[in-house]
Amino acid sequence: MKKRKICVVTGSRAEYGLMYWLLKDMQVDPEIELQLVVTGMHLSEEFGATWRKIEEDGFNITRRVDMLLSGDSPVAISKSMGLGLIGFAQVFLELEPDIVVLPCDRFEILSAAQAALVGRIPIAHIHGGELSEGAIDDAIRHSITKMSHLHFVSTELYRKRVIQLGEKPDLVFNVGAPGLDQLHRSTLLGRKELESRLNFSLGRKCFMVTYHPETLGHASPESVLNNLLDAIDCFPEAKIILTYPNADTFGRKLISQIKEYADERPNRVLISSSLGQLLYLSALKEVDLVIGNSSSGLVEAPSFCTPTVNIGNRQRGRLKAQSIIDCEENKEAVEQGIVYALSEEFQIKSKKTINPYFKNNTSKEILSRLKNIPIEGLLVKNFHDIPNEL
């Protein structure tokens, strides 16, 4: 029996983490030939060269598409996308995959989607239908949805939204968030082992902080990060784990800010370009609070009942659990959000959190669909109208 060739593309630490168990399941399936294409931040020393972690986890990297330029201006990002399109076109020509699996909403993935679309390769998209109205990722995500043929969404609300975009209901599957498979298929570290691996004491209180540039925001990302850091300094008793932003527009400027902040507080702040999924999730379990605008504060943190102070508009429109506090980007609002998140009232509320993104066996269900769905006829798409909406 001929194996089905499934090509998975990953360009960031977050994407790889959410697809880890899907990749593991593909790797051992006798009916699948896994083709793993690595690009973007994975190949950058500045962002931790996380391709090494992928290989340490036992995966063979089939191809690499080196597309990131050293700049982070809008022009540099656009040029990187052009390089990515050229690279993915060549890779897909050589690999001849039956299906290309693309996660989420980053510009690297948009380049891969364009190349697969023109190359007449069916696309399976993970995490479509979501909103993040403060970033260009929002438009990128919906664009990839329209180029894709199979859709694996994380909630019923997002399934309805993908159908609203004209996709056929029988090809849109509500499977939950695959990254949450880590919670029941991996053994997370306890507090002492985590501290040992990090070489960092979490102290009596500890905050996990991740801030990405709000690519559609009016305020400069540097000023917003400065407000966030000033607010954190109002809690000098708290230890801080600061992770790098993604390779988005103006992201490198934030990295310089983060390094300067940490250098001035050597015993209080730990910075990391990439913790890796095991350390990151273990930290989410152990810290008192998540602060910033990363999707992990909305998707993963609620599974640990860890409160999240979500700053600004980057995640605006995304489904949120009751452990999430939204606040504005100024120092006073962030400080007030932290105070409320640490209050006994909100701690009790957070303990009752139910994560809306969780379903059992998400990765296995995705793989089953990818293996068994007929490919013939997938490429020709008809727009699915919703009569009651017209």
Torsion, CA 344, CA 347, CA 348, CA 352, rounded to 10: 170
Low-confidence ranges of the chain (pLDDT < 50): 390
CA-based nearest residue to 153, from 41, 351, 318: 318
In sequence order, what are the beta bridge partners of 7? 35, 100
Structural domains of the chain, ranges and CATH numbers in brackets: 4-183+360-389 (3.40.50.2000), 188-351 (3.40.50.2000)
Going by DSSP bridges, is the β-strand pair 150-153/4-10 parallel, antiparallel, or unpaired?
unpaired
Report in angstroms the alpha-carbon separations of 220 from 19, 109, 223, 226, 249: 32, 25, 5, 10, 11
Place of tokens 């998975």: 8
Walk across the sheet containing 123-126 and list its strands: 63-65, 32-39, 4-10, 99-103, 123-126, 150-153, 172-174
Angle between helix 277-286 and helix 191-198 axes, rounded to 10 deg:
130
Distance CA 357, CA 154 (A): 6
Helices H / strands E in the chain, number of each: 15, 13
Summarised one tens digit per residue, pLDDT across range 223-249 is: 999 999 999 999 999 999 999 987 777
CA-based nearest residue to 386, from 172, 123, 154: 172
pLDDT attached to residue 390: 42
CA-based nearest residue to 373, from 178, 173, 176: 173
DSSP calls for 204-221? SEEEEEE----TT-SS-H
pLDDT attached to residue 246: 79
Residue 98: partners with Cβ closer than 8 Å, 6 or more residues away: 4, 5, 6, 121, 122, 375
Going by DSSP bridges, is the β-strand pair 63-65/32-39 parallel, antiparallel, or unpaired?
parallel
Summarised one tens digit per residue, pLDDT across range 12-22 is: 988 999 999 99
Angle between helix 74-95 and helix 107-118 axes, rounded to 10 deg:
40
The conformational region for residue 368 under phi > 0 = left, psi -120 to 50 = alpha, else beta, is alpha
DSSP calls for 276-344? -HHHHHHHHHH-SEEEES-THHHHTGGGGT--EEEESSTTTTS---TTEEEE-SSHHHHHHHHHHHHSH
pLDDT attached to residue 87: 98
Distance CA 291, CA 248 (A): 19
Residue 341: partners with Cβ closer than 8 Å, 6 or more residues away: 289, 307, 308, 309, 325
pLDDT attached to residue 388: 63
pLDDT attached to residue 328: 95
pLDDT attached to residue 86: 98
Cβ atoms of 312 and 134 within 8 Å: the answer is yes
Summarised one tens digit per residue, pLDDT across range 156-215 is: 999 999 999 999 999 999 999 999 998 889 899 999 999 999 999 999 999 999 998 876
Place of tokens 């909100």: 346
Report in angstroms the alpha-carbon separations of 69 from 75, 135, 153: 10, 20, 31
Distance CA 179, CA 359 (A): 11
CA-based nearest residue to 85, from 101, 104, 108: 108
Token pair, residue 51, equals: 């391709």
